Chain A
Amino acid sequence: MRLKPVAGILLRQFYLIRGSPIRSLPMFAWVAIDIVVWGFITRYLNSMAAGRFNYVPSLLGAVLMWDFFTRIMQGVSTAFLEDVWSRNFLNLFATPLTIAEYILGLVVTSVGTSIVGLAVMLVLATAVFGLSFLSLGSLLVPFLLVLFGFGIALGILASALVLRLGPASEWLVWPLPALLSPFVGVFYPLATLPRWMQAVGHLLPPSYVFEGLRAVLAGRPFSAGSLALGAAIAVLDILLASYFFARVFRYAIRTGLLARYSAESAA
Chain B
Amino acid sequence: MYAHPPDGSSGKVVLSVAGLCKTYAEVVAVADVSFDVHRREVVGLLGPNGAGKTTTINMILGVLSPTAGSVHIGGIDLARRRAAALAQANFSAVYASLPGNLTVAQNLRFFGMVYGIPELGRRVAELVRQFELERLRDTKCGLLSSGEQTRVALAKALLNRPQLLLLDEPTASLDPAAAQTVRARIRSLAVETGCGILWTSHNMYEVEEVCDRVLFLSHGRILLEGDPRRLPREHGAATLEELFIRLAREPLAEPLERAG
Q: With A15-B110, A20-B101, A95-B86 in contact, is A253–B63 under 8 Å at CB? A: yes
Which of B54, B109, B116 has the largest number of chain A CB atoms within 10 A? Answer: B116
- In chain A, positions 73-108 with a C-beta closer than 8 Å to chain B are 82, 86-98
Q: Which of B64, B84, B97, B102 contacts A15 (CB 8 A)?
A: B102
A16 close to B (CB within 8 Å)? yes
* Given A5-B116, A91-B98, A258 and B63 contact (CB-CB distance below 8 Å): yes
Q: Decide: B102 and A19 in contact? CB cutoff 8 A.
A: yes
Contact among A2, A8, A16, A90 with B63 in the assembled complex (CB-CB below 8 Å) = A90
Answer whether A259 and B116 are a contact pair too, CB < 8 Å, given A87-B97, A91-B96, A94-B91.
no
Q: Tell me whether A94 and B114 are in contact (CB under 8 A).
A: no
Nearest B-chain residue to A258, judged by Cβ:
B63
Give the CA-CA distance A184 to B110 in the complex, in Å.
39
- State whether A95 and B115 are in contact (beta carbons under 8 Å apart), knowing that A19-B101, A262-B96 are contacts in the complex: yes
Are A94 and B64 in contact, CB atoms less than 8 angstroms apart? no
Chain B residues within 8 Å of A96, by CB: 82-84, 86-87, 114-116
Q: Does A4 contact B (CB under 8 A)?
A: yes
Please determine whether A11 and B110 come into contact, CB atoms closer than 8 angstroms: yes
Chain A residues within an 8 Å CB radius of B113 = 4-5, 7-8, 11
B61: chain A residues within 8 A (beta carbon): 90, 94
- B111 and A91 within 8 A (CB): yes
Contact B116 A2 (CB under 8 A): yes
Known contacts A86-B99, A88-B99, A8 near B65 by CB under 8 Å: no
| Residues of the A chain whose Cβ atoms lie less than 8 Å from the Cβ of B140 | 19
Q: Of B83, B93, B114, which is within 8 A of A92 by CB? A: B114
- A5 in contact with B114 (CB, 8 Å): yes
- Chain B, 131-147, CB within 8 A of any chain A CB: 140
Residues A259 and B109 in contact in the complex (CB < 8 Å), given A95-B115, A96-B84, A253-B63: no
Least CB separation from A102: chain B residue = B114
Beyond the given pairs A5-B113, A8-B111, A12-B110, 4 more chain A to chain B contacts, judged by CB atoms under 8 angstroms and listed by A's residue number, are A7-B113, A16-B101, A19-B101, A97-B83
B positions within 8 Å CB-CB of A: 24, 54-55, 58, 61-65, 82-84, 86-87, 89-91, 93, 95-103, 106, 109-116, 140, 156
Can you list 20 pairs linking A and B with CB atoms under 8 Å apart?
Answer: A5-B113, A8-B114, A15-B102, A16-B101, A86-B99, A90-B63, A91-B111, A91-B156, A92-B114, A94-B63, A94-B86, A96-B83, A96-B84, A96-B115, A253-B64, A256-B55, A256-B64, A258-B64, A259-B64, A262-B95
